[in-house]
Structure 1
Amino acid sequence: MPLLTTLTTHWSAITTTYPPGAIEITVAILSQLLGFWLISTLYLLLDLLYPSFSQTHKLQSSRSQPSRTAILLCFRTVATANLSSTLLHLVLLHFTNYKLTLFTIPSHLPTMREILSDFLYALVTREALFYTIHRALHHPLLYRHIHKQHHSFTTPMALAAQYAHPVEHLLANVMPIVLPLALRRAHILSFALFLTAMLLETASVHSGYDFAGARRHDLHHEKFRVNYGASVGVLDWLFGTDVVGWDRKGKGKGEEKKEE
């Protein structure tokens, strides 16, 4: 296939021209820009430029939507966190002369079987890690000092997906996505695909729109002790914390109590 041959040639040239660390951080930045910032900006523009459409399709009422002050605070906080983590990544790579990486960066492209295998493995592992960590963060001792910041948006928006305490950002946002494929020493492009997909997913489920698959997580922000899982939701069903989707009775357990 001409397209595949062209991609293979370009990728081979990239891997022979640039050090592995430079490729890794570039892939991470591009995934963040495409999977999170672009999508979150589009949702925000939809909120601001088309209020009548937004009011029609938002899961919660217009009166409960975040104020402009809250939106600006969220933007500054998330942008600062992203820049800080990127700078830290750059510093770590600098001390290894851009040679030490978490992922494999060969001169060939990953096969379709490799991509699908990595994606399925990472999806299941991320679900288990995220559910466990997220539910632990709702323990009163941790919630008050860490997770409460994220839940200050009782009516979520896409940008608020990464509005979190630094400890939570590392444990709940970064580790469940990065660690599974890093331990597997997956191809960097397999990781890029998974990272972009998960960032897009988390931005969408925080969007508050009824067409973006956000209903389950929107209820989590509204009721707090339900729908702890990420994209799969099997563990919520298994442990009785699901409200919509998997719950056969149509009502989750423990939804009546809200953390303070």
Structure 2
Amino acid sequence: MGGMVSDEVLGTFMPILVYWVYSGIYFSLNRFDNYRMHSRKDEEIKNLVSKGTVVKGVLLQQSIQALVALSLFMVTSTNEETTSFSQPSLFMYAKWFLIAMLVMDTWQYFIHRYMHHNKFLYRHIHSQHHRLVVPYAFGALYNHPLEGLLLDTVGGALSFLLSGMTPRASIFFFSFATIKTVDDHCGLWLPGNLFHIFFQNNTAYHDIHHQLYGNKYNFSQPFFIVWDKILGTYMPYSLEKRAGGGFEARPLKEKS
């Protein structure tokens, strides 16, 4: 690898840097009440965990992810080398990204859904993430360490391996996946947000899932809603102006 920092190191730590930079931007935008999905009061009252605890939880998960990623790169590096004389085409990058997105979506949908339907797993593991009834950006990766390992870290490893992407491609893919995940949890509906334009799986879609009435619906993350649509766990909603400013995602019909 050329340069002072290897692609493997960048692929490991760039998504972590992107996570905190991007969520920090959204944190600074939380002051604009006209774009919030929930009021400041709801965030203070409904959330069951402090922001300090959330930060510590995310840092723990990212530490585990970094160790797994570095180990994975060490094992696969001899088969994934890319020289300056043979750079992949844009078509190859698009192919890798699409496969990785589908793999990640499939893995996360079924693991995520199972964690909701298995009472033991929900009570002792996944409920930690749902302590954030009112999601915000830097809480996107606030999970139980076991869930973080199984859902995000293993899901990311499978996406990398099954897509066949190079470590260099992984820098861009996992940074993109990180931005998308943060965006889904940011709690803001900003005008002109490209994720809201190109993805049905967006901030409002995932906000429905974090509410009590949507707890068994809208499991898909982070890219598409294919599995929710196919398996009947999609909850349609409308986005409406909230009294006092901001927006609210309301289910078109509450499912039993």
TM over 0.5: yes
Q: Which residue of 1 aligns with 2:247?
A: none
Q: Which residue of 1 aligns with 2:54?
A: 74
Matched, 1:117 2:108: no
Offset from partner CA, 1:48-94 (integer Å, 9 cap, x none): xxx2x1x211112221114797112111221233234435656x58x
| Counterpart Cα distance in 1 of 2:130 and 2:24 | 20
Q: Is the 8 A contact 2:220 2:228 kept in 1?
A: yes
2:82 equivalent among 106, 117, 126: 106
Matched, 1:237 2:229: yes
Give the TM-score, by structure 1 length: 0.77
Matched, 1:189 2:168: yes
Q: Which residue of 2 aligns with 1:6?
A: none
Matched, 1:23 2:10: no
Q: Which residue of 1 aligns with 2:207?
A: 218
| Counterpart Cα distance in 2 of 1:172 and 1:66 | 28
Question: What amino acid does structure 1 have at the position aligned with 2:143?
Answer: A
Q: Which residue of 1 aligns with 2:20?
A: 37
Q: Is the 8 A contact 1:57 1:210 kept in 2?
A: yes
| Counterpart Cα distance in 2 of 1:181 and 1:243 | 30
Unaligned runs of 5+ in 2: 194-201, 238-250
Matched, 1:136 2:114: yes
Higher-Rg member (1/2): 1
Q: Is the 8 A contact 1:240 1:252 kept in 2?
A: no
Q: Which residue of 2 aligns with 1:257?
A: none
Question: What amino acid does structure 1 have at the position aligned with 2:150?
Answer: L
| Counterpart Cα distance in 2 of 1:64 and 1:114 | 45
Q: Which has the higher contact order (CA 8 A, sep 6+)?
A: 2
Q: Which residue of 2 aligns with 1:126?
A: 104
How many pairs are equivalent?
A: 225
Matched, 1:160 2:155: no
Question: What amino acid does structure 1 have at the position aligned with 2:55?
Answer: F
Question: What amino acid does structure 1 have at the position aligned with 2:27?
Answer: L
Identify, as 1 or 2, the structure richer in helix. 1
Q: Is the 8 A contact 1:229 1:236 kept in 2?
A: yes
| Counterpart Cα distance in 1 of 2:68 and 2:219 | 29
Change (3 A) 1:252 1:101: farther
Change (3 A) 1:134 1:88: closer
Question: What amino acid does structure 2 have at the position aligned with 1:78?
Answer: V
Unaligned runs of 5+ in 1: 1-11, 255-260
Q: Is the partner of 1:131 in helix, strand or coil? A: helix
- Which stretches of structure 1, 4 residues or more, deviate above 6 A after TM superposition? none
| Counterpart Cα distance in 2 of 1:251 and 1:240 | 14
Change (3 A) 1:76 1:120: same
Q: Is the 8 A contact 1:27 1:192 kept in 2?
A: yes
Change (3 A) 1:125 1:83: closer
Give the TM-score, by structure 2 length: 0.78
Q: Give, in angstroms, the shift of residue 158 of structure 1.
A: 1.0
Q: Which residue of 1 aligns with 2:242?
A: none
Q: Is the 8 A contact 1:227 1:243 kept in 2?
A: yes
Question: What amino acid does structure 1 have at the position aligned with 2:60?
Answer: T
Matched, 1:171 2:155: no
Question: What amino acid does structure 2 have at the position aligned with 1:221?
Answer: H
RMSD between aligned residues: 2.7
